[in-house]
Amino acid sequence: MTRILVTGAAGFLGFYIARQLAADPANSVVCVDSFVRGRRDVLYRDLTARPNVSHVTADLCDPNAVAALPDDIDVVFHMAALNGTQNFYERPFEVVRCCTLPTMNLIEKYGPQQRLKRWLYAGTSEAYASTVTRFGWEVPTGEDAPLSFDDIFNARWSYGASKAHGEIATVNGCRHFGIPFTIARFHNAYGPRMGDKHVIPDFLARARDGVYELYGHEDTRSFIYAEDAARATILLANADVAAGQVVNVGSEDEMTIRDLGHAIMKAAELSGEIALHPSPKGSVKRRAPKIARLKELTGYAPDWTLQAGLKATAEYYLSDAAVAYDLAPSQD
């Protein structure tokens, strides 16, 4: 069996990746999470109850906890991070801590063993956001965009800068130890279990109370459903030609946040006027990736349309399941 370690497996994309990997009985999946953000909800309990899945509770910021992780790992999907726009502003130092130390600790654990067949690091489009906003870099944006941060005093960049650090740590650490690596640079993945600190669940949380509001309505984004993002990531990890590559994972279908709001309303069969508000200081005005490299390296094509993905997401967030996931305390 292939032994695969997925960090942040009780969170968002880590969960979807672990679940898809676990569907193959040839894989033995080790799920790792500290529950600083993830939750042991019924979906996660069902995942870790599978015969080819195990769970380890570990704070990856602690070198001793990382040292105690299993040694016999063939592939690492390093998805753990403290994400969520509200967290960037409200808990910036914790964001920095949780997005830098685990990467260093894990590379220092698995690098010297000379066993890993692939290290897959979860990057983010936030790492080059200032390049687009400040310097007018083209959108859709390719992987060659320079990484930049236009104001280190703006707490928003606690996440983007920390994840850029992770890309540099990945490249240099994996080269140092001779580990094949791939950096997947994610662009606005969405779906059930993504928490409540992103635009889609934030909008739906208000909609539960009959309030329809959007912030940054003139900004543009493109969105990829979590199942598609997870499948693309696994394809990258399995593709020999993706080793040593930075690859965008997302959709090229750019739309305004205002149009997104209307699409959510349609998918959720809601009616009412949407109150429109400006975006927070430092918010990225445009974001959409070029995904030609992803398609060329893996043959990826999306399975989910935006409308189908929004419908599934709305059904989850307008149900009691979302309240149980987002508001319940972590249970270990």
Q: What is the pLDDT of residue 11?
A: 95
Q: What is the pLDDT of residue 322?
A: 62
In order of 7, 118, 197, 240, the CA distances from 235 in angstroms are 18, 12, 28, 10
pLDDT tens column, 100-138: 999 999 999 999 999 999 999 999 999 999 999 899 999
- For residue 211, pLDDT over 90 is answered with yes
The DSSP bridge pattern shows strands 255-256 and 220-221 to be antiparallel
What's the whole-number mean pLDDT along residues 291-318? Answer: 97
- For residue 332, pLDDT over 60 is answered with no
pLDDT tens column, 231-253: 999 999 999 999 999 999 999 99
pLDDT tens column, 255-264: 999 999 999 9
The DSSP bridge pattern shows strands 213-215 and 275-277 to be parallel
DSSP 141: B
What does the domain layout of the chain look like in residue ranges?
2-194+223-252+289-304
**Rounded to whole angstroms, how far apart are CA atoms 28 and 49?**
13
Q: What is the pLDDT of residue 296?
A: 98
Mean pLDDT comparison of 18-22, 86-90, 128-132, highest-scoring range: 18-22
Please check whether the domain covering 2-194+223-252+289-304 is classified as CATH 3.40.50.720.
yes
Q: What is the pLDDT of residue 271?
A: 94
In order of 63, 168, 283, 313, 325, the CA distances from 196 in angstroms are 30, 29, 18, 12, 10
Average pLDDT across the chain, whole number: 93
